[in-house]
Amino acid sequence: MPSMLTRDELRCWAHHIRDNLIPALNDGIEVALSTAALDGVENFLIQMKGAYVDIEVLRYSRIHNALREIRAMASRWTPRIALTAHELLSLWSKKFGPVEDIRLNLWRHGGRLEGIVKMKDWNFDNVRRDSMKAAGMVDLPHWKPAWNLELGKAFSHPLQTGHNGFEVGNWWINIAAAFRDGIIRGTATGITADSKGAYAILMTDEEEIETGLENIIEYQASPLDPDGPKLVKNLQSRELVRVLRNWELTSKLAPKAGLRYDGLYRVSGYGVKLKIDTSGNDEWHYTFTLERYADQLGMEKAFCHPNAEEMDDWNEYERLDIEIRENLGSGFDGTSESESGLWTPNDSPTYSIMGHDTGTVFGTRQAGEGSTDTDSSTGDVYQLNIEHSSRSKSL
């Protein structure tokens, strides 16, 4: 009789095996894998033999990755579990090809990159390099092509206080995806704010300074971030700010990939410090003392992310990013004079988004061809130009 396991049940089992059982084995916690736990895995794998599985079920559930991890540490499991996992993987490899070659569709509905495109190049005659640097869009002297929202994709408003519908531990594959979902504004790290104050902080590089005190950190705002003074207003208003950490943040609290929401913090103090640079480029920084709000989920919830499935997506994202760079070739060193464009997942029109003066890329709400869009909090106007480009690639 065929098994009635659904693909959501398979996904839950994959999560349980990869994020609960395997870490327990790696940590040597024998009590975590009781006889009942091992019997449960064994019975599940027996049911798997009768379950309907196609390549889309594997792609959705990631159960093949769970079984690959079991096979990789077969000696830590019971012989029957290890053998059944091997048999299922062999069966699927015969039907679909090597399971390790199954690619994920990050652009699918609900996928990590839904509504996200990759900027292919930028015409530096239209946007000043210094204004782009001030907007945090370019890592001088070499600009790396950025990800941004697809034109016309709606997103929630990030200029709201509190959690704004998000939970501690929510994880995104890149900054543009977090912008799409509305936890921050824009595709650069730093402070999300308006004239009333700040709502979110995305920390990266050396912006977090450990204090040695639990739940208290020091945030060193970039001197290029124009919203530093607006965060001072939160000291007066006592409004909490959302704090996110990027994987490039030099902190023991940073996620190992992507970016993660770590909860609400209160601004309890600030100052201005001179950062001495050995090259002579000394800079003044706003520094803020941030205290984590007590009445919310603890950091142990955040530390669960990225989980195994999220790391699958991250590895696919990095693989995809490399392929895009190889397909597009050179021209990303800030010197190319080719037309602007985006790398999109199909042959749809390619969009060039030029921010006036600031070089920011907030103008991504729905707009018609050749129209303009205005960011309501700043009044900045953005010209949205649609260009049909034969350089768009298909997945």
pLDDT in tens, the chain (395 residues): 456 899 999 999 999 999 999 998 887 655 457 888 899 999 999 999 988 999 999 999 999 999 999 999 999 999 999 999 999 999 999 999 999 999 999 998 889 999 888 765 444 333 434 444 444 443 333 344 578 887 656 567 899 999 999 999 999 999 999 999 999 998 888 999 999 999 999 999 999 998 988 899 999 998 888 899 999 999 999 999 999 999 999 999 999 999 999 999 999 999 988 877 777 777 788 999 999 999 999 999 999 999 999 999 999 999 988 888 777 544 333 323 333 344 445 433 332 222 222 222 222 223 333 333 334 444 433 233 323 233 322 32
Q: Residue 274 is inside which H or E element, if any?
A: strand 259-275
Residue 17's identity, in one-letter code, is I
For residues 286 and 105, what is the distance between their CA atoms, to the nearest angstrom?
A: 41
pTM score, whole prediction: 0.76
Task: Count the Cβ atoms, other than its own, within 10 Å of residue 269.
Answer: 12
Whether 351 contacts 115, CB under 8 Å:
no
Order the strands of the 381-387 sheet from edge to edge.
350-355, 381-387, 372-374
Closest alpha carbon to 163 in 194, 127, 200: 200
Whether 172 contacts 112, CB under 8 Å:
yes
Question: What residues contact 178, with CB distance under 8 A and at least 6 apart?
Answer: 172, 184, 202, 244, 259
For residues 303 and 165, what is the distance between their CA atoms, to the nearest angstrom?
A: 19
Question: What residues contact 156, with CB distance under 8 A and at least 6 apart?
Answer: 164, 165, 181, 182
- Give Cα 257 distance to the centre of its chain: 8
The sign of the CA dihedral 170, 172, 178, 181 is negative
Token duo for residue 183? 């936890």
DSSP helix/strand/coil, 383: strand
Token duo for residue 370? 């050749």
CA-based R_g, the chain, Å: 24
Closest alpha carbon to 48 in 14, 75, 24, 19: 14
- CB-based burial of residue 239 (10 Å sphere; 0-12 exposed, 13-18 middle, 19+ buried)? middle
Token duo for residue 391? 């350089």
Per-residue confidence (pLDDT) for residue 204, from 0 to 100: 94
Q: State the distance between the two ends of the chain, measured CA to CA, in whole angstroms.
A: 38
- Give Cα 66 distance to the centre of its chain: 23
Residue 101's identity, in one-letter code, is D
Residue 194's identity, in one-letter code, is D
Per-residue confidence (pLDDT) for residue 188, from 0 to 100: 83
